[in-house]
Every structure is written in structure tokens, then in C-alpha cells.
Chain A
Amino acid sequence: MKWRQKTFLADSTTSRVSFTLDSSLDSVNKVEQTAEQFAQRAGFDVDTVAQIAMAVREAAVNAVLHGNAYDKTKHITAFFESTGDSLIIRLADQGPGLEPENVPDPLAPENILRGSGRGIFLIRAFMDEVNFRQLHPGTELTLIKHRTTAQTGN
């Protein structure tokens, strides 16, 4: 797996890292593991860490599989920032673009037995804020989880 990493200067409450990764399942695993580490360091409880890691994994799968379609000439970028009150993750692909409003509701009776289409639903279920931005080409997804008062004391 080829990847480039930038680590930004951090103060006592803020840390940031970004990666440029190829369109592979190894990249998905690296992004998931990094999300898990950031969430742990931010002081989230075990269940919330697992939910954040899963949401970020789903976003990375979307970027690699549905966005870049495993194209070796395309990359994904992943940016992680832990601030005093939030964990922020941005993932971008170079695919044709995703219109989230066109994704069918996986809870609707007519969709419940579909073999796919639950990724964005899970991302929204597990994160506090989810924003899509069209990059022309590509899609950038911003995921935010707010720290509670107890966690910000860490």
C-alpha cells in the first residue's frame, strides 16, 4: 500500500494527521484503525469508539469502492483532527460524485432485504454531524463527533 502522511503541529488539545492513500481495502483498514486511535485518545467510551471506527470504515469503503471503484490511478485523502470539543474526520475520493439524497432508505420495507445500501445510514446513525461536499470530481465527507463535558476534561 502506498501512502503519504502529514502530521500537523499540535497544541495540548489539538492533534491532526492526514493521509493520501491508494484505492484499496488496506487503505480502508488503515483509515479505520486511525479513527479508532484518535477516538480513544479523545476519551470516548469503548462503545462510542467502536461506532466512530465503524462510521469511518463505512465512509472509507464508499470512497474506495463506490467513489474510486478500486482505480489504481485514483487516491483517497483522509484527514483527522481532534479538537477540544470534537473529533473531525474528512474523507475525499476522486469518483463521479455521490448524491446522498438519491440513496434509498434502507429501513423502508421495500429495501429491508437489499444486500447493500446501509453504509450511509450507519454513518449518520453513529456520528453527530455528517456533511457531503461535491468536489467535481469526487465527494468529500465530513464526519463530526462531539466530546461530552466529561470527555473534554481528559
Chain B
Amino acid sequence: MSMTVKTRQVDGVTILDLSGRITLGEGSITIRDAVRDVVAKGSTKILLNLGDVSYIDSSGLGELVSAYTSVKNAGGELKLLNLTKKVHDLLQITKLYTVFDVRDDEAHAIASFGE
């Protein structure tokens, strides 16, 4: 199953609703292009909604980390929303849970930017 990305704006926050598998190849490239695109358009508050992401491999994890650092280097913030149990467990064992600001409520996540 390939990955899809839908972009929306809520209260100055760019939300990317991701769906599918983030794996080596198509999925990783899709997320890289999507984040690069919204950063190029000036977004500095970016929320990745992973609620419909069924699977992430090590390449996908690397892509999330790269997205995080590229947004941070551009002076912005990138946060994660709605992790599935599988993705949550993966972030825990790789200690990436300590890197990302992970949220499970969209309204609170949006309000948290700039805190």
C-alpha cells in the first residue's frame, strides 16, 4: 500500500494527514517532498498526523527524524499526532520518543505550538 498525504491549515498550523506505509522508497520520498514543500511555502508550525500510518520501517523513522531537523533548522517546529501502538512502540525502543513532541489530541496539539 502506498502512502498519501493531505495538507490542511488550522489556526496557523500546517497539518499533514499521512496514510499508509512509510517505508524505503515511495513512502519515505512522499513524506520528504511533502515536508519540504510546506517549509518552502513558509510553514513553521507543522503537525504530522500519523493516525492512519499502519507501518514505519527504519527508513521511515529516519525520514521523520530528517523532517524534524530540517524544520527545526528552518526555525520551525514539527510535532507528531495520533501514533498507533506499533509506531509508538517503535519510537520508544529507538528512543525517538524523547526527541519528538508527541500529541494525541489535535486541538491541544495545535494550541501547543509556540508555548
Which residues of chain A have a CB within 8 Å of any CB of chain B?
25, 28, 50, 54, 57-58, 61, 65, 106-107, 112-119, 121-122, 125
Contacts and interface: CB of A to CB of B under 8 A. Distances in A.
Given A28-B24, A58-B57, A61-B24, A114 B65 contact: yes
B62 A116 contact: yes
11 contacts: A50-B86, A57-B23, A57-B57, A58-B57, A58-B58, A107-B95, A112-B96, A112-B99, A114-B65, A121-B58, A122-B58
Interface in B2-38: 23-25
A112 B98 CA distance: 10
Main secondary structure of the interface of A (DSSP, over half): helix
A115 B58 contact: no
A98 to B, nearest CB: 15
B63 interface: yes
A125 B91 CA distance: 13
Interface of B: 23-25, 57-59, 61-63, 65-66, 68-69, 86, 90, 93-96, 98-99
A118 B86 contact: no
A118 B86 CA distance: 16
A106 B61 CA distance: 12
A57 B66 CA distance: 21
B94 A121 contact: yes
Contact of B58 (A28, A112, A119): A119
Given A57-B57, A115-B65, A115-B66, 11 more contacts: A25-B25, A28-B24, A58-B58, A65-B24, A107-B95, A112-B96, A112-B98, A113-B65, A118-B58, A122-B93, A125-B93
Nearest to A25: B25
Contact of B62 (A28, A65, A107, A118): A118
Interface hub of A25, A50, A118, A125 (most chain B Cβ within 10 A): A118
Contact of A106 (B66, B69, B94, B98): B94
B13 to A, nearest CB: 23
Contacts of B59: 61, 116
